[in-house]
Structure 1
Amino acid sequence: MAWTFDDALEDVTVLERNDEWGRYEFCVGELRTKIQVHLFRSPTTEQTRFVRSHDIQTPGMLDAYHSGRVWWDYPAYALRNAVSGITQYYDQAVQAGHTPQESWLQRNDSFAEF
């Protein structure tokens, strides 16, 4: 399936969206923490990488989830993986009966706002 930016953002509350500059801000489920994603295109390979402002650690996880793959063939794929890296664990925890907590979202120290 070819992802679009709309597909990538369908499971979240979008607060800000700038496809031209590759900057997105969203919230997940009941949480109020604003998560930012920045996309960067490689000038030599045409691939796109993402940097996310927060990672997630829900009950039962030993550590916060950090994506092992941040480079993708298309910008919409990169955005989809940045978003789903948060939403899939949030959804699993809620389905397991846990009450959403702001503390599940942990600031990514390597993220810098531009």
Structure 2
Amino acid sequence: MESEMAVEALLDYLEEHREVSESYVLLREIKAYLEVDHPDFYPCIRIKIYRTRLNGQDWFHFELSHNVHTPEQAGPYYPSRTTEELETIAVDRAINATTTFIKAAIRAGHRPSDRWLVPNERF
């Protein structure tokens, strides 16, 4: 728990800092091979999980290494909600932001492709 206390102390410090309006402390980076209901396709993404404090409340924020763009979509999907109260919910939301669209495209008859994963240039 020592590292958790360090994160809390850093969030406290940044919240009081006169020259910081918003901050995110990186907790971990996850590498995941996703199950998308296809026997030969297990796309790999990375997820960064941050702790942040907004309006006095602690949150978990995620960023994805890739955004999904299947033939069923007009353009890449950029999650609009990336902050949750619990870390596990933030991780689930990050995974679902990718798998939902890939599974739908596969169900629609498209052959899966790594090209469906568009690198996030800000990751």
Instruction: State TM-score, norm by structure 2.
Output: 0.68
Q: Give 5+ residue unaligned stretches, structure 1.
A: 1-20
Letter in 2 for 1:103: R
Q: Give the corresponding residue for 1:22.
A: 28
C-alpha offsets along residues 34-85 of structure 1, whole Å, 9 cap, x if unaligned? 3100100114521100011001000121110000011111101100000000
Letter in 2 for 1:101: S
CA distance in structure 1 between the partners assigned to 2:51 and 2:67 by the alignment: 22
Higher helix share: 2
Q: Which has the higher contact order (CA 8 A, sep 6+)?
A: 1
1:26-105 superposed matches below 5 A: 26-28=32-34, 29=36, 30-31=40-41, 33-43=43-53, 44-105=56-117
Instruction: State TM-score, norm by structure 1.
Output: 0.73
| CA root-mean-square deviation | 1.5
The answer to whether the 8 A contact 1:48-1:75 is kept is: yes
Q: Give the corresponding residue for 1:13.
A: none
Tell me how many residue pairs correspond in the alignment: 91
Letter in 2 for 1:55: N
Q: Give 5+ residue unaligned stretches, structure 2.
A: 1-26
